[in-house]
Amino acid sequence: MQTLTIDDILVRGKKVLVRVDFNVPMTPDLKISDDKRMVEALPTIKKIIKDGGSVILMSHLGRPKGKPVTEFSLKPVADHLSKLLNQPVKFAADCIGKPAQEAVAGLKPGECLLLENLRFHAEEEKNDEKFARELASLGDVYVNDAFGSAHRAHASTEGVTRFLKPSVAGYLMKKEIEYLSKAVSNPQRPYVAILGGAKISGKIDVIQNLLPKIDVLVIGGGMAFTFFQAQGLEIGDSLVEQEKLGLAKQILDEVNVKHMRLILPVDCVIADRLDNEAQRKVVPSNKIPSGWRGLDIGPETVKIINMEVRRAKTIVWNGPMGVFEMPNFANGTLEVARLLAEATRNGATTIVGGGDSAAAVAQAGFEESISHVSTGGGASLEFLEGKTLPGLGALDTR
């Protein structure tokens, strides 16, 4: 990894401005319902505290659209972080201006401060230069540990690096890049990519970037039906992107030329309507009757995926295999989570690319059984597409 990391700098006696991703889900009474992203940031925070630096944390939460909104305040997050760190976490009522400056001025080595929601200011998402400069003035060095926001060129992820040096990666950012780089640069073989989700349009860049690198491509989810239609198969009322049929045919042709294996579902769980309580049955993928739609992969498809996964040394998974939000159509997705956990135990490197796939792994109880579950859905997707993430590209390199 050529990007400088927190291990490359000295923080003793310095104020360290750290961009974290504390965009965590909250209950209606403003309690944190899932603190995974906070827990993942702890190694970086504890490193700074241990080494005698002062920690100034900044994050966004929700979509307040550029103005203060009580339900999106980071104050409950500061309180929860105090428990995770087992020490008080101070809180500034704003991320710039007098409240922030005074809170930072009173910060001692080994102490931790969380600034109020960055997105209470519209300038954050606009990557406003003056706003970025104000943020930068709060610290002596900058650490980006917010992989989940690294695909956005915002003031706190990209703009601030122009005014604060050195700018380095935290431990979470380092871990994300190391694992995802294995998937796109130097994977152990056989290399299997499992891609799902509703639409091919959301994954086309990932498919095209991974095709030259992988040995097996497994397609599931709603996007599979666009490939079926491109082959002239009967898909009933299943989801299909008519405008992407040409693209699907192109990918099918490319797979044939490369002599790689493309696994499409051989059977599907179908329903007579998009409803968890709908009538459902399992049929071959090429025999979906009119009035029915495919909402999950079937048991025979799971067996085929199992055979491929058992042989693999590197597996990347991004996107659910069905309408995962509905319990009656979540089995295929949960089975893939189980298969990846088993492959990990057998020595494979398994990488789950955030979003619904990460949620499925957590729901199935396999979070600790996967080599790496990304904290950034959109960021991991763009990395797998081969794009340079603005928040990562802005950091200093060796």
Active site residues: 37, 199, 355, 378
Distance, CA of 279 to CA of 266 (rounded, Å): 20
- Least Cα distance to 224 among 269, 190, 183, 191 occurs for 269
In terms of phi and psi (left: phi > 0; alpha: psi -120 to 50; beta: otherwise), the region of 264 is beta
CB-based contacts of 15, cutoff 8 Å, min separation 6: 53, 54, 56, 104, 107, 138, 139, 140, 141
Phi (first) and psi of residue 118, to 5 degrees: -60, -35
Altogether, the residues listed in the chain come to a count of 398
User: Are the CB atoms for 319 and 357 separated by under 8 Å?
Assistant: yes
Count CA atoms within 13 Å of residue 238 on its CB side: 32
100, amino acid identity: A
